[in-house]
Amino acid sequence: MKAKLFLTASLFALAANAQLSTINENFDDFNPGNATFPQKGWSAILPANPQPFPPAPMMLVVADGTNQAVQAYPGNSFNQPIYLITPQIVTPAGDKALSFDTNLVTSAPGTATIQIGVASNPTDMGTFTAVGNPIPVSSFTAFNAKVNVPASTGSYLVIRITPTLPHTAVQIDNVVYDISLSVNDSSFSNSLKLAVSQDNNLLRFFTSEVIANAKIHSASGQLVTDSKIINNTLDISKLNSGLYFISIENNKGQLVKSKFIKK
């Protein structure tokens, strides 16, 4: 009996500490309302209400028909950050990007800025490190934003929303963190082609650019190769058969992300 209880407790602990390699969240199965966080591993940090009367800042889950989304509502506050924090992820290796839809809620009196970041502690935004450029939000029409997430020791993705005026609510939906989203440098990408040799031992690169190094990740997100590229070839003889994702950097620091299959 004790062994059974111990096994159950161990499995629960493993589930509680599981780290996600990807995220694909539309919030449709979240509990709606204005006091719903934390739930499903997501959490929020809100500023204090600057006034002795409501409304205070809130992170809401709102429904529009069958679709649900998150709304960051500042209440009486402004120019104070509101944080939406993802479940814990596998420490970023630099091979993925974060994508999400956002817009101002109709009748919002101001605008807002979104800054993506990573944090090592979901309850302490002193560990927040900004990633990419600030994203201005000034439209009532939803648009998609994408930000590459570099290698980091932080294991939580953070969407930081800063409204410029009180009662300026910002909507967030369709949050995706995945390797297939990463944004390539267009000039380098257009000049680069790659191919696996007939014996499946080498990956060959065809480009006018000088290639510096490459990182290869398995389909599960594990880093399997981090090597310099010599004579525009990379030894892949030790890789098992399967699908791989590769990040290729030239001598200018520009990056291209692609994929290949080793048979």
Sequence-separated (6 or more) residues with CB below 8 Å from residue 263: 196, 200, 241
Neighbours of 72 (CB within 10 A): 28
Q: Cα dihedral angle (13, 32, 43, 107), rounded to 10 degrees?
A: 170
The domain limits of the chain are: 19-181, 186-262
Name the residue among 211, 195, 222 with its Cα closest to residue 248: 211
Q: What does the alpha-carbon distance between residue 14 and residue 156 come to, in Å, rounded to a whole number?
A: 18
Does domain 186-262 sit in CATH 2.30.30.90? Answer: no
- The pLDDT value recorded for residue 257 is 82
pLDDT tens for 147-195 read 888 888 999 999 999 999 999 999 999 999 987 666 665 567 777 888 9
Summarised one tens digit per residue, pLDDT across range 197-226 is 989 999 999 988 888 889 898 877 788 998
pLDDT digits (tens, 9 = 90+) for 219-257: 777 889 988 888 899 999 999 999 898 888 887 777 788
Q: Which fold has domain 19-181?
A: Jelly Rolls (2.60.120)
